[in-house]
Amino acid sequence: MAVEVPQHLFAWYLGDPQQPRLIGEIGRLSNGDASLSYAPGWLEHGFALSEDMPLRDMAYAPRHRRGREPAAVGALDDARPDRWGEKVIRTLYKKGATLRDHLYLAGDERFGALGVSGSAQAYQPFNHRPLPRLSDVPTLAEAVAVIQSGEGELGAQRRALIGAGGSLGGAKPKAVVAIDGQEWVVKFFDGEPWDQPLVEHACMTLAARAGVRVADTRVIHLPAENAIAVRRFDRGPKGERVHSVSACTLLRAATPDGEAPAFGYPHLARRLRAMAQVDRLDEHLSDLFRRMVFNILIANTDDHEKNHAVTHELVKGLPVVNLSAAYDVVTTGSGAIAHEFMIADDVVDPDLEAALSVHRDFGLQEAQAREVVSQVVRVVDGWREHFTGLGVTPGDVETLAEFINAEHLMAQRERHRTPPPAGDRRPQTRKPRTGTPKIFR
């Protein structure tokens, strides 16, 4: 039997989950889009959820849409489930769920600090239950397998566990679990050609060796395969929720009407320069540049705008943004060469010279940028030993070598392993951007 969704839906701010604050009412437009109108109390004491939603008494509608598919406005779009969460909702609660249904049925555990309730008087989320624990992960894996295959029975225990923590965004199967009093996202094996959870852990820890600030990860060994747990950067040490938006939302919000948003590392760097705390700006920009270089060298081309985010910190009541820790850093393995997130304004190729050409966007002198590239190259040179030391099998290592040690990447590692003398640097060139700009994923 399908779950009945309340006639009216309301957005709440859960920075302190013990004291939720009403943000405003979520509306449904005739085309299926989700709008948002700020409540009087939020207009007086709140903050703009995203740059395209200033504190004004009006109904905000999505400005940049992906074709005919319904969209949610501004930061509310990040609070909706993505493909995996939608699949869980269709399986457990409502087969023909709409965007409005998805916003409500995603429940209490969603990205950032926004919640959705059927009441404006009290925060009453759908399916508010205690999070699964580490010991529940094997049962969660069984539930995931049933949902993915469509075969077998979920049963009451599996339904309860996957419902409590299984409606996050992203395409891959995942669930939120409590580990040692903290919230972690557990990502499960999904039929990849190698042990994807272990490989992702290897990539993330290698990125940390290369100086990239990454989310903490740990491997969970299951009877049939591995899973990876990723510590949530949008949760504080005492359970507080941190308002966060994806780079997709951040860059769309800064794009004028009638223009297609451009998604890329230098574009995100420019928004950080405009919005981040001054005393941490250099740190964020340098970290983003290092992340870009590492993703190029590790053949992570699926580095799209939903795989980067910023967190909002309230300073004297006003939000300033901080670059989040890196997440979803893993060799793509599809054979795709073009990066989803642009390396330069007109470049999607994995080209280190293109990355160096935009060094000023990251607040770096050319010599500093070249030194960063060399540092990352030298770390990536040791990827085989690092992966093997973590238990990645020889067969998986050889398969991954087809991508990480691809000819075009090996040539660049050789060229940039040692920074050239100041007077002997190659002229910076940019290759034309391939493909056509997309609106957003």
pLDDT of residue 383: 98
Judge contact between 412 and 352, C-beta under 8 A. yes
What lies within 8 Å, CB to CB, of 44 at 6+ separation is none
Q: Does the model's pTM come out above 0.85?
A: yes
- DSSP assignment of 31-53 equals TS-EEEEE-HHHHHH---SSTTS
Q: Considering only CA atoms, which of 182, 102, 173 is closest in space to residue 142?
A: 173
Q: What is the CATH number of domain 134-231?
A: 3.30.200.120
Q: Considering only CA atoms, which of 150, 154, 127 is closest in space to residue 139?
A: 154
User: What's the angle, vertex CA 385, arms to CA 202 and CA 307, rounded to 5?
Assistant: 25
pLDDT of residue 65: 67
Locate tokens 């010279």: which residue?
353
- DSSP assignment of 165-205 equals H---SSSS-EEEEEETTEEEEEEE--S-SS-HHHHHHHHHH
How far apart, in Å, do the first and last CA atoms of the chain sit?
31
**pLDDT for 319-353, tens place per residue?**
789 999 999 999 998 878 899 999 998 899 999 99
Three-state secondary structure call for residue 343: coil
Judge contact between 144 and 162, C-beta under 8 A. yes
Which strands form 114-117's sheet, in the order they lie side by side?
A: 59-60, 34-38, 21-28, 9-13, 114-117
Three-state secondary structure call for residue 342: strand
Rounded to 5 degrees, φ, ψ at 174 are: -155, 165
- Residue 430 scores a pLDDT above 50: no
Q: Considering only CA atoms, which of 386, 407, 423 is closest in space to residue 415?
A: 407
Domain ranges of the chain: 9-117, 134-231, 244-416
Residue 339: how many other CB atoms lie within 10 Å: 24
- Percentage of the chain modeled with pLDDT above 70: 93
pLDDT of residue 141: 92
Q: What is the mean pLDDT of residues 282-310?
A: 97
Would you call 384 exposed, middle or buried from its count of C-beta atoms within 10 A (0-12, 13-18, 19+)? Answer: middle
Mark residue 306 as left, alpha or beta (left: phi above 0; alpha: psi -120 to 50; beta: remaining): alpha
Res. 218 pLDDT band, cuts 50 70 90? very high
224 or 214, higher pLDDT: 214
Res. 425 pLDDT band, cuts 50 70 90? low
Mark residue 439 as left, alpha or beta (left: phi above 0; alpha: psi -120 to 50; beta: remaining): alpha
Res. 165 pLDDT band, cuts 50 70 90? low
Furthest CA-CA distance within the chain = 72
Alpha-carbon distance 240 to 236, whole Å?
Answer: 5
Q: What is the mean pLDDT of residues 370-386?
A: 98
Res. 169 pLDDT band, cuts 50 70 90? low
